[in-house]
Amino acid sequence: MSSSIRREVSSDWDPLLAMDHNMNFIGSSGFPPFIAGVVNSSNDDGRNDQVPSLSCFGLVDSPEFPSVADNVKGKKRKGFTDFGASHSRSPVIKTQKIDEKKPKNDNADAKKEDYIHVRAKRGQATNSHSLAERVRREKISERMRLLQDLVPGCNKLTGKAMMLDEIINYVQSLQRQVEFLSMKLAAVNPEVNFDVEQILSKDILQSQDGGNSAALGFGQAMTIPHQQFHGLMQTEMGICNMPNSGGILRLNNSEISQMAQIPTNVWDQDLQNLVPMGFIGNPPIESKEMNGSMKAEL
C-alpha cells in the first residue's frame, strides 16, 4: 500500500467495468492525506506489482498522479503526459481516437485491482487531473446526498453551500442541546438517589424501545456483564454494591453479545482509567475547556 509507483499510463482494453470497486478508505487509523482510495494490488507476477495509489484529490499539485487516469478509455485524442519521474514505463501517446496498444499487464490484473476506473465521457476533458477532480466531486456530492437524508429539512435545499450551512447549523444545535440537557441533568441529579436511578434505567430503555426499533429485552443479572467486561464491571460492582442488584440491569443475550464485541482491551481500560479521572480529577480545569465544542483545536 505504501509503494506507490504509478502504473503505466496507457489505457486498457480491458473489460473496463465502468467503475471498479473496493475503495478501501483508510478509516480511523492514521490519516494518509494523499490516498483517497487505496489500491491493493494483488499482482502475483513480478512485472507490474507496483501499487498505484490515488492521490488525494484535494491536493492539486501533488506529484503523485491518480491511477484513475490509467484506465480512461474512450475518445481520447492525446495521451497523458508524463507527470512525474516514477513511471514504470514510458508514456504512451496516442494520436488516434482508439488506442491500439494493449498494456502488458493483462486483464486479470485489472480485475483484481481495486482502483477506480473512470471513463471519460464524450466532450469532457480527459486530463488526468480533471478526471481525478471529477471523481472527487462525485464522491463529495454523493456524501452530501447521504447527509441530506440525515439532516431534517434538507430535502428542498440544493447546492453545496446551502446544505453545508444547514448541516453546520444542525450540528451546532445538537451540541447545544447536549449541553443544555447535561445542565438539566446536573440540576436534577443530586436529588435523586441511587436506587431510583437504577430503576429508571430500565424504564428509559423500555421507553426508548418505542422510539427506536431496537429490541431491548434486558435479561437478568449484573453477573452477566460481569463476565463480559471483567475489569470494567469489577470496578462498577465495587462501587455500586447494589442491594437490589437483581432486577436492575437485565441484559439480553443479544445485547450481551453486542456489547462483548467491543474490543475489550482498549476500550475497557479507557473507560476505567479515563472516565473517573475525567470526572473527578479535572472538573475545574475542564470548565474552561468544555465551552461550546470540545473539539476546538486539535
Partner 1 sequence: MHNNKCLKENPNPNPNQPLLAYHFIQALTRINLTAHTTTSTKQRSHIIKHAAYVSMAFAAGNKRTWTHAVLLHNRFPLKTRFHRLSGSRRSFIMSLSRNKKTHRHAHLLRSLVPGGHAMEFSSLLMETANYIQYLTAQVRLMQCIVEKFDMHV
Give the footprint of partner 1 on residues 157-196 (CB under 8 A).
160-161, 164-165, 167-168, 170-172, 174-175, 177-179, 181-192, 194, 196
Partners of 38 in the beta sheet? 24
Rule CB under 8 A: is residue 106 a binding residue for partner 1?
no
Number of residues near partner 1 (by CB under 8 A):
105
**Nearest of 23, 20, 61 to residue 40 by alpha carbon:** 23
The H helix count followed by the E strand count for the chain is 9, 0
Grid coordinates in use for 142?
Answer: 454523493
CB neighbour class for 121 (10 Å; exposed up to 12, middle 13-18, buried from 19)? exposed
- The residues in 10-49 that bind partner 1, with binding defined as CB under 8 A, are 19-23, 25, 27-28, 31, 33, 36
In 10 A of CB 105, how many CB atoms? 23
Contact flag: residue 98 with partner 1 (CB under 8 A): no
Please name the amino acid found at residue 233: M
Minimum Å gap between C-beta 230 and partner 1 is 15
Report the C-alpha dihedral over residues 236, 239, 242, 248, rounded to 10 degrees. Answer: -30
* Minimal distance, residue 60 CB to partner 1, in Å: 7
CA distance 188 to 182: 10
What x/- string results for residues 218 through 257 when contact with partner 1 is judged by CB under 8 A?
x-----------------x--xx--------x-----x--
Contact 57, 133 (CB under 8 A): yes
CA–CA distance, 287 with 13 (Å, rounded to integer) = 63
Comparing CB distances to partner 1, the nearer of 93 and 140 is: 140
155 makes contact with partner 1 (CB under 8 A): no
Give me the half-sphere count of Cα atoms (radius 13 Å) on the Cβ side of residue 54.
27
Q: Is 86 in the site for partner 1 (CB under 8 A)?
A: no
Question: Hey, which residues between 44 and 83 contact partner 1 (CB under 8 A)?
Answer: 56-62
What residues from 269 to 288 belong to the interface with partner 1 (CB under 8 A)? 270-271, 274-276, 278-280, 282-287
Closest to partner 1 by CB, 63 or 90: 63
Q: How many Å apart are CA 218 and CA 202, to the nearest integer?
A: 8
Q: Nearest distance from residue 96's CB to partner 1, in Å?
A: 29
Which residue's CB is nearer to partner 1, number 92 or number 240? 240
Task: Decide whether 81 or 182 has the Cβ nearer to partner 1.
Answer: 182
